[in-house]
Structure 1
Amino acid sequence: MNKLPRIQRVHSKWNKTRILLVKKGLKNYVPDTRKLSRATLETMLNLYQMVYVKPDHGTYGKGVMRVEKELTNQGVRYAYQAGETRRGFTTLDSLYASLQSKKTKRIYLIQKGIHLLKYNKRRFDIRIMVQINPQGRWESTAWIGRVAAPRKIVTNYHSGGTPTAVETLLKHYMSPSDIKAFHQKLNRLGVDTARQFARKYPRVKEIGLDIALDRKFHPWILEVNTKPDPYIFRKLKDKSIARKVYRYAKAYGGV
């Protein structure tokens, strides 16, 4: 029996972001992302008022912090949230010092914050699964929504997020026909992203795109996961979706 070639995994979020930015057709879907320093923190907060800080290497939303700059009657104030804990600061220096004390990895990134759409007052994003199909072509095989737990800033299932059908999440924002068209748009975005990754890493066989929707329904690629967990799709009512994901993954050695 022939052994399947080992699948490539790309762990650095910074490297994955750079891969996306090379492709002109993908740049508009990538939030401004830089390496964290005091200078980039100041610049990004001045530009966007809300940003996310996260480790370059990491999974399940661990180490992610939401940082904000606010103009109050008392002047400029800063705050960040890690987990369910929120802390406030009166100066950028004190904010940065506290962020530094929270860091568990050497390199952290800072990313433009996207104000996520909400479902029952809880933030949600979308995971798109893209896989090499048995014919050797990239195919977007599944999508699922992830609803953040109350008071949480991340939507990951392992951090308390609730897997939910995307149609359920979007029905308050779009008509059924608009949801269908939007699904097709995200499927194309998923395949384009996978092809771009395969140019640099030809042994990548699957990716999971984490997509944020802003208030204008523009999709933003928050992250590309080259080792996406297929288990979450078992939570969907339509069990044929998970069966397809697992069938494809088994064919290329992903499970």
Structure 2
Amino acid sequence: MSYSYGKWTKYHIMKENDTLARYLPETHILTETDFWRMLNQFGAVVIKPSEGSQGYGVVQVTKLREERFEIHSGNKKIICKRNGLTEFLDKEKYRRKIYIVQEKIPLATVGDRPFDIRVMVQRQEEKNEWSVTGKLVKVVARGYFITNVSPEIIELNAALEKSSLLEDVDFRVISDDLDIIAILTASQLNEYYPNSQIFGLDIGITDKGKLYIIEANLKPSWGLFKKLKE
């Protein structure tokens, strides 16, 4: 049986594992009911095309005061009232394709810019043992909210030392937890994508050190690691 490469499919595969489920942000198919419920609950949500890549079509919506809302797409922000947001969500693209709505993770920052962590996991051909082969930090470019567009690339420990993480967060524990989560995720996904030999995970972290699996990439590029060496 073949499985979609879409975010919605991978989310459900990971959620089947009780341990991984604790690291997944709340996520649903984009519907009017779930959108407004989650926006009211979390104050900010992210809308993503299930089949998208490179951050294309990803939008952040934040609830402001006095029934006003901020729509953040790329490096542009629009402030609107409820009817304006409803019109935005009623665009044809949201009806024709599968989009997901996800709670916005309050990411830790370097300076005043959020970051996430890319973890690469690999196995040798014909073997089932997975190992972490690379970790780095992607810092959001100024004006954006996702790390897909021209991020600043920093070595993990250097980024954590500069970050807004609270003083009682142990960096060694964070690094070890990243390895555990990444290998467990690779093992879980490999049951459904048995031909895969590499996964790239984007993992978010809050100021308190809580980790979230933002996304699992089945065909990740090593280009970010080449930038790190530079």
Q: Same fold (TM over 0.5)?
A: yes
**Matches of 1:102 and 1:171 in 2, distance apart?**
45
Flag the 1:61–1:193 CA change in 2: closer, same or farther, 3 A.
same
**Amino acid in structure 2 at the alignment position of 1:58:** G
Q: In structure 2, list runs of 5 or more residues that go unmatched.
A: none
**Amino acid in structure 1 at the alignment position of 2:67:** V
Of residues 17, 28, 31 in structure 1, which corresponds to 2:25? 31
Of residues 157, 160, 174 in structure 2, which corresponds to 1:170? 160
**Matches of 1:120 and 1:39 in 2, distance apart?**
36
Give the C-alpha shift of residue 56 in structure 1: 0.6
Of residues 195, 199, 214 in structure 2, which corresponds to 1:207? 199
Give the C-alpha shift of residue 96 in structure 1: 2.8
Of residues 61, 79, 87 in structure 2, which corresponds to 1:88? 79
**Amino acid in structure 1 at the alignment position of 2:86:** Y
**Would the aligned equivalents of 1:9 and 1:204 in 2 still touch at CA under 8 Å?**
no
Per-residue displacement from partner, 1:82-120 (whole Å, max 9, x unpaired)?
0111112221x4313213438476111100001111112
**Would the aligned equivalents of 1:9 and 1:226 in 2 still touch at CA under 8 Å?**
no
Give the C-alpha shift of residue 9 in structure 1: 8.6
Of residues 98, 108, 117 in structure 2, which corresponds to 1:117? 108
**Matches of 1:134 and 1:117 in 2, distance apart?**
36
Per-residue displacement from partner, 1:13-64 (whole Å, max 9, x unpaired)?
0000000110001111000000111111111111101010011111111111
Instruction: Kindly name which structure, 1 or 2, has the bigger radius of gyration based on alpha carbons.
Output: 1
When you count helix as a share of all residues, which structure comes out higher?
1
Structure 1 residue 128 corresponds to structure 2 residue 119 = yes
**Matches of 1:163 and 1:100 in 2, distance apart?**
36
Flag the 1:102–1:140 CA change in 2: closer, same or farther, 3 A.
farther
**Matches of 1:203 and 1:182 in 2, distance apart?**
29
Structure 1 residue 193 corresponds to structure 2 residue 185 = yes
SS of alignment partner, residue 46 of structure 2: strand
Of residues 158, 175, 180 in structure 2, which corresponds to 1:183? 175
**Matches of 1:103 and 1:143 in 2, distance apart?**
35
Give the C-alpha shift of residue 208 in structure 1: 0.7
Give the C-alpha shift of residue 165 in structure 1: 0.9
Residues paired across the two proteins, number: 224
Of residues 49, 59, 63 in structure 1, which corresponds to 2:53? 59
Structure 1 residue 20 corresponds to structure 2 residue 11 = no
**Amino acid in structure 2 at the alignment position of 1:229:** S
Give the C-alpha shift of residue 184 in structure 1: 1.3
Q: How does the TM-score come out when normalised to structure 2?
A: 0.90
My pick for the range that moved more, 14-23 or 99-108, is 99-108
Of residues 138, 142, 145 in structure 2, which corresponds to 1:146? 138
Give the C-alpha shift of residue 123 in structure 1: 1.2
Give the C-alpha shift of residue 216 in structure 1: 1.4
Q: In structure 1, list runs of 5 or more residues that go unmatched.
A: 1-7, 240-255
Give the C-alpha shift of residue 81 in structure 1: 0.4
Structure 1 residue 101 corresponds to structure 2 residue 91 = yes
Aligned residue number for residue 242 of structure 1: none
**Would the aligned equivalents of 1:10 and 1:226 in 2 still touch at CA under 8 Å?**
no
Aligned residue number for residue 247 of structure 1: none
Percent sequence identity is 30
Aligned residue number for residue 208 of structure 2: 216
SS of alignment partner, residue 221 of structure 1: strand
Cα RMSD for the two superposed structures: 2.1
